[in-house]
Structure formats: structure tokens, C-alpha cells
Amino acid sequence: MDQAKKTKTKQPKAPAPSKKKAGFDHLFGVDILEKFVTFSKDTLSPKVLDFSIKWLLKIGHYALIAAAALGFLFTFIYAVRVNSFFAFLYGIAWIVLVFVIQYTAHRFSTAGEKLINNNPSSMSSKAFLDCFGFLAVIGGLIVLVVGILQTIRGAGFNNLFMGIGFFVLLEFLALVAFHPQTVTTNIIKETTAGQEAIGIIVFFLKGLMKLVPIVFGVGIAVGFVLLFIDFIGIFGNEFRVASSWLSGQNSARTILYVGLIPFLSYLFFVLSYLAVDVIRSILATPIKIEELKKK
């Protein structure tokens, strides 16, 4: 009897139902997008950000020098064709303005990095950052596709270059959201709703400040290409010359505005952070009052 019990084979247990398989029916879309977000995080790494900041900053400065020379040549040829001495003076003023802009951009291109490092902030969860990064990636792709389609339809190369510019900006903004440590944003669970709101505001301030060198490099490069396209038109007929001159002035203003971004963003960040510090001190007042009562 005992021997029969020992030799009796045990029946294998039925496998437990998989919880993951049960939830897959209604969350399969979430699982797919989670894999896409993970792929985006791996692709848009902090190393990509550091490499891009370094080289796009150099490209922006080289493009500024090239734009100074091209703009002067543009005005010189236009002055000869329409017999205008004032156009020649515009060319000289253009060179002076470009080098002034380049000086301010160089002085303030690294100042933003110091501000970011000296002002750490916190958020309670990465859920907001991951969702925002995902939306920024999708938005960048949509803008790029729309720019390409508008160019194919004959709306002009401006749409293509603008689409590329906004695509690059949104993808790098997604990179910062996926890796908040790049803008000294820490994830701390013990965060109140008010502190979370401040953390979100500060994240956007520091994120945009982090991308200033990239905006500078891409913006100046795009502006130079547009100016070059306008320059080609100066060799056409009289109507083409007048049209290219007006369009070239718009491209030149774009280059100047982009060149001022490092300086203007520094001022905007400092003044905005002053308001954030005031709000932060107001939110901290009740806590300090409670601590004083306990003493």
C-alpha cells in the first residue's frame, strides 16, 4: 500500500491564468506606445544633446560669418544694379550688426547653462514628462511632414526649412523631457500640488534655456540658406531683383532676431525665475508658520 502511494504519479497542476494576458486585450495600444517611448528615450540620449549643442553652436557662429559676407555681397550687387548708394551703406551696417550680434550670442551662450545648474528643481513623477516627451516627438514628425507636403505643393522652400527647424526643436525638447537630469530636475515623491505646478513651470523654463544653443545654430543656418536663395534672385530681371531684395531683408531680420535669442532668453529666464521664487516663498509660508507654532 505504501509502495503504491510512493509510485503514484503526481498530476501536474494547471497553469495559473496570466494576468498580463488578461489585461492585454484593452491595453495593447498602451504597450505598443510604451515600446515607442522606450525606443525614443534610447535614441534621444543625453549624449546626443551634448554633441548637438557643441556642434550646432559652432555651426551658428560660422553661419553668422558667412551671412555677414553674403549680405554685404547681396547689397553691393543690388546697389550696382539699381544705382543706389544707400543700399551699399546697408551692407556696411549689416556687417557691423552681425558681429555685434555674434559677440552677445557668444557671451550668453554658456550663461544659460550656469543658471540651469545653479537652480535645481523637483517633480513628483515622470508621468507628465514622459507624456510631454511623447507628444513632442509626434508633434515634431507632424510638423516635418506638413512642411514637406507644403513644399511639394509649391508653397516655397520656406515651409520646408521651417518644418525642419521646428522638428529639431520639438525632438530636443522631447529629449529633455525624457531625461530631466539634463536640466537639473529631480524626481521626488514627497511633493505637494503647488510644488508640482512650480516644478512644471521651472522645467519648461530650464528646458527652453537648455535648447538656446540649438535654436541659435539651427535658426542661423536656416536663415543663411534663405538669404542665399534670395541672393540668387538678384541676378534675374527687374521684377525678380525687387522681389529678392524685399525677401532678403526679411531673411536678414530673421538672422538678427535669432542671433539675439541667447541674450533675450537669459533676461526672460532671470525675470521669470524671480516670479517663481516669489510664488515658492508664498507657498512655503504656511509650513514655516506651523514650524514656528511647534517651537
The domains of the chain are located at 45-282
Whether 125 shows a pLDDT value over 90: the answer reads no
| Helix count and strand count (H, E) for the chain | 11, 2
Give residue 34's pLDDT.
81
Residues 32, 38, 40, 43: is their CA dihedral positive or negative? negative
pLDDT tens digits, 256-267: 999 999 999 999
Angle at 86 between CA 81 and CA 90, to 5 degrees: 100
Give residue 15's pLDDT.
53
Compute the distance between CA of residue 66 and CA of residue 261 in angstroms, rounded to an integer: 19
The answer for 150, left when phi > 0, alpha when psi is -120 to 50, beta otherwise, is alpha
Compute the distance between CA of residue 240 and CA of residue 3 in angstroms, rounded to an integer: 106
User: CA torsion angle for 176, 224, 98, 77 (degrees, to 10)?
Assistant: -170
**Band of pLDDT at residue 121, cut at 50, 70 and 90:** confident
Q: Are 259 and 98 in contact (CB under 8 A)?
A: yes
Compute the distance between CA of residue 262 and CA of residue 234 in angstroms, rounded to an integer: 32
Neighbouring CB atoms inside 10 A of 196's CB total: 15
pLDDT tens digits, 234-280: 887 777 878 888 888 888 888 999 999 999 999 999 888 888 888 87
Give residue 80's pLDDT.
84
Cell of 208: 527652453
CA 249 from centroid of its chain's CA atoms:
26
Find cell 488578461 and name the residue: 22
pLDDT tens digits, 17-63: 444 444 445 666 777 878 888 888 888 888 988 898 889 889 999 99
Please report, rounded to a whole number, the percentage of residues in the chain having pLDDT higher than 90.
21
**List of E strands, the chain:** 121-123, 185-187
CA 132 from centroid of its chain's CA atoms:
13
Compute the distance between CA of residue 159 and CA of residue 264 in angstroms, rounded to an integer: 26
